[in-house]
Amino acid sequence: MKIENSIQGVRAALNQARKAGKSIAFVPTMGNLHSGHIALVLNAKRRADFVVSSVFVNPTQFGVNEDFASYPRTLDSDANLLAEAGCDILFAPNAEEMYPDGRQQATTVQVAGITEFLCGASRPGHFTGVATVVTKLLNIIQPDMALFGEKDYQQLAVIRRLVTELCIPTNIIAIPTHRADDGLALSSRNGYLSSDERAKAPLIYQTLTQLQSAILSGQRDYASLAHAASSHLNKCGFQTDYVEIRAANLDSATESDSDLVILVAAYLGKTRLIDNLAFSLA
């Protein structure tokens, strides 16, 4: 596996693959890779001739009081895992390479509407940071397809929207969330949890599956169901940011919607965890 730190270097390496007629799949990450990321790479390998992954802890998607400084940076072990999984190129730029004008970069990508609730409400600017860096990465790599995990459900919706509306010719592929045996969605942030917190964390997924069962058994008062679930999580030591039941496209859910998603964001101590469960009533 080649490691490229510069835009010019990764573009030159990709040109060779393109000239050889290879299809290119891209797996963008912020590193500290776990088996969920590796599943994306393995999936990408089944779909394309050539796989590129990026590791870049994107400063613009972190709020001022968030964990940018402490976000785990484990590039050597990430590179080993990617090489073992058969990744062809790792693009690992530094912040100057991605943002030569630093915080003065004048151009940002803002996706209105869909970014204004759920995580967008509690993390102002987060999705503009994500949309901007993903647009830059897609412009640098110009892949045929890019793979993202469904754990970041709203992020995925934002990326699909920007790719469609900015006419970026990359096919966006969603891959189901990887979970630990006890149901906890894999996340680089799980490493922040103390052992007590880690023992409690699977309650988020249990809550999602209980809400799903209640809905499948006919309950339709989504606001009350979500409120009760949020209170239960808070009694059990979480501080919920939101528990919401929405239509699969993230509009408010009505009784006539048959494709639904339940979304949770909750703090356990200082760690913010998110998860979701999408399902169909039909």
Residue 218, CA atoms < 13 Å, CB-side half-sphere: 0
- Least separation in angstroms between CB 95 and ligand PAF: 12
Here the tokens at position 14 are 């990709």
147 belongs to the binding site for ligand PAF (CB under 6 A): no
Residues 9 and 11: their CA atoms lie apart, in Å, by 5
134 belongs to the binding site for ligand PAF (CB under 6 A): yes
Please select the residue that binds ligand PAF; options are 81, 130, 163, 225, rule is CB under 6 A.
Answer: 130
Site for ligand PAF in 151-190 (CB under 6 A): 152, 155
Q: Tell me, yes or no, if 34 is annotated catalytic.
A: no
275 belongs to the binding site for ligand PAF (CB under 6 A): no
60 belongs to the binding site for ligand PAF (CB under 6 A): no
Collapse the DSSP code of 57 into the 3-class scheme (helix H, G, I; strand E, B; otherwise coil) and give the result: coil
Site for ligand PAF in 12-51 (CB under 6 A): 28-30
Catalytic residue selected from 37, 126, 178, 227: 37
- Least separation in angstroms between CB 148 and ligand PAF: 6
Residue 60: burial class (beta carbons within 10 Å; 0-12, 13-18, 19+) = buried
- Least separation in angstroms between CB 41 and ligand PAF: 13
To 5 degrees, how large is the angle CA 27–CA 67–CA 270? 115
| DSSP H or E stretch at residue 173 | strand 171-175
Residue type at position 46: R
Residues 255 and 22: their CA atoms lie apart, in Å, by 46
Which residues bind to ligand PAF, rule: CB under 6 A? 28-30, 58, 61, 130, 133-134, 152, 155
As annotated, the active-site residues are 37
